[in-house]
């Protein structure tokens, strides 16, 4: 695009990642200054506290990994909250060794249904996945009778989500594994190329002989699978599944993807950005809660930060293009 | 160089423009006058587009200044240029497909009544403007999407006229037009010229330039090479100036031999009301042209063969084996081996923001992968092979494909398909909006491919090209093949006559009338 040496100007895709990473540092410094003045301590900088935040963040990170794939093909999956809850509820209801496979299968099946609806029935994903979310919610309410499920997570679920190995939360290893799989898919496989191609210009990808429908179904299936996995882990972390457990994951997962520089219209974005976006959101939440910010104020700041970041990226875009 | 004189309307002095490290214009002095049609010639990437973008306020020059009608001006935006009477008709259509013709024509400043858009006045305005350019048959209430490409371009022209230009810039505005519409545009330009409008005209069709222009300027590599009056230079000299090298023969010679065994056989192919019992063979090593007026089913036929359309009836066989691809993925499958170079490279051929390498490899990733993983060594070799085979001028193959000039972009589309090693190559007007030099490379490449055994079906809106390149030409009219021309029959008169589905005598007048207007 330009002849200016690459090390002087960041590529279009790296700029948001750097900005988000700088913002994380700002959050850490600001939060530490606050705690130092008020409590005389700096918990934000203690490794243990950070690991705990990352453990909580790993559930969001896993959801965001799937969401990013769907956003890259310029679609969206709004069925995440109840896909996640359904996977958690059915996993705990089945229990035993089949708990985790059932949870994942629920996510996968919902994802495939979403994909078929979008790719073959040609329903806009925003509508179709919203509908599926409502259907899943209805099914789960019918399943539990509207009460909190009485079943508990299995030991393996608890081990994966809540326990630590060598002092590092196991959930982080799961997140890492999911991240590696997503990076390999996006960067090393033909599927990854097709995902970016479809997001950039679906007609051109189709006319290049890409099986766009199959790729779309696969993307939604992967997103459903990650939502199912997050549900299983979250149930393990909370020891049980509960109504509305996925509600707090929809907007933050989309926000993490977008803050990480993935174009909301698809076709562009790096996975590293999504990682940084997740960490940013988790730390922001945590600092706001340390400050004992009331929920209303937290929502305002949270929303304002997302809009602000996107404005900053938008300006950068205009300068480079 | 033309010195600024009293009649000069637009004067550019010392204009330079760089895009990153690419020099698009270098210290250009240029002037165009009222009441003259001024052709701007040059290969793609010569700086023509940048020149008119600067004149139209789309981009701002890095250095130099501009005067319009004697006053120094600098346009911060296209609307500022419009307000000063500079109006552009671009090669890429700027119409909104889902709005009506009338809405589109008045989109910038719709007539209002009580603050709301006055639909009646808008329709009358559209009717008046369409009549002015001889398109009274276009219904202003139709959606633009439902018009054929040629008509859409005419609507674009009507829209430009509606802004009452003092300087009208046409950038490849005729490349999508049918011959009848081209003639209407000629009439309109002659009238505007008489009214004292300054006209800048950019076209890759030399015969148009010869017929129309009073004066021509040649650009090469961002520099203004020469400006001369009509008739001062021969076509050969002009081409020479544009490319800076000799061109011996425009088209590669055709082999003389009996008609080869058909590689692609189409029998009674029909689709809805757009294709009607099409039967034609294309032999291995043969280039068969599809001619006729725009929108007679040529593109539909190519799409039908490529598996894009549902509900196609009839049989298609490749090397004697019946095939029925249900999608482009099926059409390019190894057993079938069909490739299609689509008409619109920006929306159908390329993922513009993606890299040159990604665009080249996208159609052949199956062959370049081990299991699900792309083999990067194989991929790099294939991409480099494609680039060198078509001599695509790239800086870095990881740059976005949108940074290439139009001709090189088209080469990327073609190279992408050649990398799949197709046996049947379908070309949909591949030379539209491409410079002379690249066109000739493509002609040579087509013949080379044919010599290697590919069967080529080639749709073009340029009759010259069909005559020069094709072994045979099938003329389509209203979804049917009305005539196949071969050998000595392959003449412009016969093509025009068959295109209009009339006998030769009454159509011979068309080119003569064109000349009479200018």
Continuous segment of H or E residues that includes residue B52: helix B48-55
Query: Whole-angstrom Cα distance, residue A286 to residue A63?
Result: 19
Tell me: the pLDDT tens digits for B211-258? 888 999 988 878 888 898 888 887 777 777 776 654 445 788 888 777
CA distance B208 to chain A (A): 32
Domain span at B331: 262-337+422-517
The predicted-structure confidence for B342-369, as pLDDT tens digits, reads as follows 988 888 899 988 999 999 999 999 889 9
pLDDT tens-digit profile of B266-301? 999 998 888 889 999 999 999 999 988 777 888 999
The answer to whether B358 contacts chain A (CB < 8 Å) is yes
Residues B76 and B135 in one domain: yes
Identify the pLDDT of residue A11: 65
Average pLDDT, chain A: 87
CATH code, B433? 3.40.50.300
Q: What is the pLDDT of residue B427?
A: 93
- C-alpha radius of gyration, chain B, whole number: 24
Average pLDDT over residues B181-196: 88
Judge whether B121 lies within some domain: yes
d(CA A105, CA A87): 8
pLDDT band at A197 (very low <50, low <70, confident <90, very high): very high
Do B239 and B297 fall within a single domain? no
pLDDT for the residue numbered B328 = 92
3-state secondary structure of A25: helix
Confidence of residue B308 (pLDDT cuts 50, 70, 90): very high
Beta strands per DSSP E along chain A: 164-165, 168-169
Q: Is the dihedral of CA A212, A217, A221, A223 positive or negative?
A: positive
| CB-CB neighbors (< 8 A) of A2 in chain B | 20-21
- Rounded to an integer, the average pLDDT of B83-101 is 83
Number of neighbouring beta carbons within 10 Å of residue B326: 12
Q: Is position B174 within any domain?
A: yes
- Shared domain for B391 and B429, answered yes or no, is no
Are the CB atoms for B289 and B473 separated by under 8 Å? yes
pLDDT over 60 (residue B508)? no
Q: How many domains does chain B have?
A: 3
Residue A37 lies in a domain: no
Site from A14, A205, A208 to mutate, B interface, most B CB atoms within 10 angstroms: A208
Picking from B213, B243, B273, the residue at the C-terminal end of a domain is B243
Greater confidence (A94 vs A115) lies with A115
**Structural domain of residue A97, as residue ranges?**
14-27+49-315
Domain end point (choices B421, B456, B475): B421
A141 domain residue, yes or no? yes
Question: Is A261 among the domain residues?
Answer: yes
Q: To 5 degrees, how large is the angle CA A280–CA A283–CA A288?
A: 120
User: Do B57 and B123 belong together in one domain?
Assistant: yes
Nearest to A267 among B332, B353, B369 (CB): B353
Q: How far is the C-alpha of B360 from the C-alpha of B383, rounded, in Å?
A: 6
Nearest CA in chain A to B398: A1
How many residues are there in chain B? Answer: 518
A41-56 average pLDDT score: 86
Residue B248 lies in a domain: no
Distance (Å, rounded) from C-alpha B277 to C-alpha B452? 30
Read out DSSP for A98-161? GHHHHHHHHHHHHHHHHHHHHHTS---HHHHHHHHHHHHHHHHHHHHTTSPP--B--HHHHHHH
For residue B338, the distance in angstroms to the closest alpha carbon of chain A comes to: 10
CA B370 to chain centre: 39
**CB nearest A207 (choices: B340, B400, B403):** B340
Over 90: is that where the pLDDT of B424 sits?
Answer: yes
CB B242 within 8 A of CB B439: no
| Counted domains in chain A | 1
Residue A34 is assigned to a structural domain of this protein: no
Range B65-82 average pLDDT: 88
Higher pLDDT: A173 or B464? It is: A173
Q: Are residues B37 and B108 in the same domain?
A: yes
Assigned domain for A211 exists? yes
The answer to the question of residue B251 being in a domain is no
Q: Give B108's pLDDT tier (boundaries 50, 70, 90).
A: confident
Residue B222's contacts (CB-CB under 8 Å, 6 or more residues apart) are B23, B24, B25, B26, B28, B46, B47, B50
Residues B189 and B40 in one domain: yes
Q: What angle do CA A207, A212, A216 make, to 5 degrees?
A: 160
Q: Which residue has the higher pLDDT, A185 or A149?
A: A185
Question: Which residues in chain A touch residue B416, judged by CB atoms under 8 angstroms apart?
Answer: 208
Same domain, B320 and B369: no
Contacts of B420 in chain A (CB under 8 A): 209
Instruction: Please write the tens of the pLDDT for every residue from A53-112.
Output: 899 999 999 999 999 999 999 999 999 999 999 999 999 888 888 889 999 999 999 999
Q: Say whether A189 and B329 touch across the interface (CB within 8 A).
A: no
- Do B426 and B407 have their domain in common? no
Cα separation, A314 vs A12, whole angstroms: 11
Question: Given B421, B450, B475, which residue is the final one in a domain?
Answer: B421
Q: What is the domain-level CATH number for residue A144?
A: 1.10.3470
CA distance B432 to B451: 24
Kindly report, residue by residue over A222-273, the tens digit of the pLDDT: 999 999 999 999 999 988 888 888 888 998 999 999 989 888 888 889 999 9
Q: Under a CB-based contact definition with an 8 Å cutoff, are residues B283 and B262 in contact?
A: yes
Q: Are residues B90 and B207 in the same domain?
A: yes
* Crossing angle between the packed helical segments A80-94 and A125-144, to the nearest 10 degrees: 30
For residues B415 and B428, state if they share a domain. Answer: no
Report helix, strand or coil for B211: helix
B321 lies in the same domain as B177: no
Query: For residue B91, what pLDDT band results from cuts at 50, 70 and 90?
Result: low
CA–CA dist A309, A318 (Å, integer): 15
Give domain status of residue A246, yes or no: yes
Distance (Å, whole) CA A319 – CA A315:
7
- C-alpha B518/C-alpha B515 separation (Å) is 6
Q: Is residue B481 situated within a structural domain?
A: yes
Query: What pLDDT score was predicted for residue B422?
Result: 92
């Amino acid at each position: 695009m330009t002849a200016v040496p690459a090390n002087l100007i960041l590529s279009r895709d790296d700029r948001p990642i750097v900005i988000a990473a700088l913002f994380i540092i700002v959050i850490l410094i600001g939060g530490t200054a606050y705690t130092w003045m008020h409590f005389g301590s700096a918990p934000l900088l203690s490794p243990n506290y950070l690991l705990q935040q990352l453990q909580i963040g790993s559930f969001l990170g896993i959801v965001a990994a799937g969401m990013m794939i769907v956003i890259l093909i310029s679609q969206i999956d709004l069925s995440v909250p109840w896909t996640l809850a359904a996977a958690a509820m059915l996993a705990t209801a089945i229990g035993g060794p089949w708990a985790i496979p059932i949870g994942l299968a629920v996510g996968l099946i919902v994802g495939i249904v979403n994909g078929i609806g979008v790719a073959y029935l040609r329903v806009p994903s925003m509508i179709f996945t919203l509908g599926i979310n409502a259907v899943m919610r209805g099914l789960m309410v019918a399943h539990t009778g509207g009460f909190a499920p009485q079943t508990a997570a299995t030991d393996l679920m608890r081990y994966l989500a809540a326990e630590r190995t060598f002092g590092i939360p196991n959930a982080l290893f799961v997140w890492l594994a999911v991240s590696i799989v997503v990076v390999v898919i996006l960067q090393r496989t033909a599927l990854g190329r097709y995902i970016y191609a479809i997001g950039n210009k679906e007609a051109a990808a189709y006319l290049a002989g890409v099986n766009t429908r199959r790729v779309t179904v696969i993307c939604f299936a992967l997103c459903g699978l990650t939502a199912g996995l997050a549900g299983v882990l979250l149930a393990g972390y909370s020891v049980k599944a509960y109504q509305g457990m996925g509600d707090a994951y929809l907007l933050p997962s989309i926000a993490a993807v977008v803050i990480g520089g993935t174009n909301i219209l698809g076709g562009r974005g790096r996975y590293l950005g999504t990682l940084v976006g997740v960490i940013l959101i988790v730390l922001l939440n945590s600092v706001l809660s340390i400050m004992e910010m009331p929920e209303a104020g937290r929502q305002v700041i949270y929303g304002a930060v997302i809009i602000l970041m996107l404005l900053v990226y938008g300006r950068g875009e205009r300068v480079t293009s | 160089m033309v010195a600024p004189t009293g009649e000069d309307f637009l004067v550019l002095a010392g204009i330079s423009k760089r895009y990153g490290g690419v020099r698009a214009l270098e210290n250009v002095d240029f002037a165009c006058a009222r009441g003259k049609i001024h052709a701007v010639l040059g290969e793609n990437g010569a700086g023509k587009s940048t020149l008119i973008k600067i004149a139209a306020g789309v981009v701002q020059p890095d250095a130099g200044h501009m005067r319009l009608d004697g006053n120094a001006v600098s346009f911060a935006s296209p609307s500022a240029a419009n307000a000063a009477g500079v109006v552009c008709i671009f090669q890429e259509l700027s119409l909104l497909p889902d709005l009506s013709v009338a809405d589109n024509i008045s989109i910038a400043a719709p007539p209002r009544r009580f603050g709301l858009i006055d639909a009646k006045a808008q329709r009358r305005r559209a009717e008046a403007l369409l009549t002015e350019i001889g398109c009274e048959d276009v219904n202003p209430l139709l959606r633009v999407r439902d018009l054929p490409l040629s008509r859409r371009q005419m609507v674009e022209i009507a829209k430009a006229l509606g802004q009452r230009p003092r300087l009208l810039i046409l950038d490849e505005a005729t490349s999508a037009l049918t011959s009848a519409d081209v003639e209407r545009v000629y009439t309109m330009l002659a009238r505007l010229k008489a009214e004292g409008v300054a006209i800048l005209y950019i076209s890759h069709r030399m015969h148009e330039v010869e017929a129309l222009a009073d004066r021509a300027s040649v650009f090469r590599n961002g520099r203004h090479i020469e400006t001369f009056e009509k008739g001062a230079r021969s076509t050969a000299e002009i081409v020479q100036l544009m490319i800076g090298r000799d061109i011996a023969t425009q088209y590669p010679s055709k082999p003389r031999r009996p008609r080869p065994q058909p590689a692609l056989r189409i029998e009674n192919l029909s689709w809805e009301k757009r294709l009607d019992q099409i039967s034609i063979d294309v032999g291995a090593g043969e280039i068969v042209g599809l001619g006729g007026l725009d929108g007679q089913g040529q593109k539909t036929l190519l799409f039908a063969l490529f598996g894009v359309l549902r509900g196609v009836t009839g049989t298609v066989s490749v090397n004697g084996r019946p095939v029925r691809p249900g999608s482009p993925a099926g059409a390019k499958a190894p057993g079938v081996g069909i490739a299609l170079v689509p008409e619109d490279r920006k929306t159908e051929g390329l993922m513009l923001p993606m890299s040159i390498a990604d665009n080249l490899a996208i159609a052949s990733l199956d062959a370049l992968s081990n299991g699900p993983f792309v083999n990067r060594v194989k991929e790099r070799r294939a991409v480099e092979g494609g680039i060198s085979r078509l001599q695509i001028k790239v800086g870095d193959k990881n740059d976005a494909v949108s940074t290439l000039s139009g001709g090189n972009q088209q080469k990327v589309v073609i190279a992408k398909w050649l990398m799949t090693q197709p046996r049947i190559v379908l070309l949909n007007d591949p030379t539209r909006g491409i410079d002379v030099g690249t066109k000739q490379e493509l002609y040579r490449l087509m013949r080379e491919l044919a010599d290697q055994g590919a069967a080529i079906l080639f749709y073009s809106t340029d009759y010259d090209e069909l005559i020069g390149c094709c072994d045979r030409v099938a003329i389509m009219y209203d979804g049917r093949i009305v005539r196949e021309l071969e050998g000595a029959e392959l003449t412009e008169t016969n093509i025009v006559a068959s295109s209009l589905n009339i006998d030769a005598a009454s159509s011979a007048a068309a080119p003569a009338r064109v000349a009479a207007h200018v």
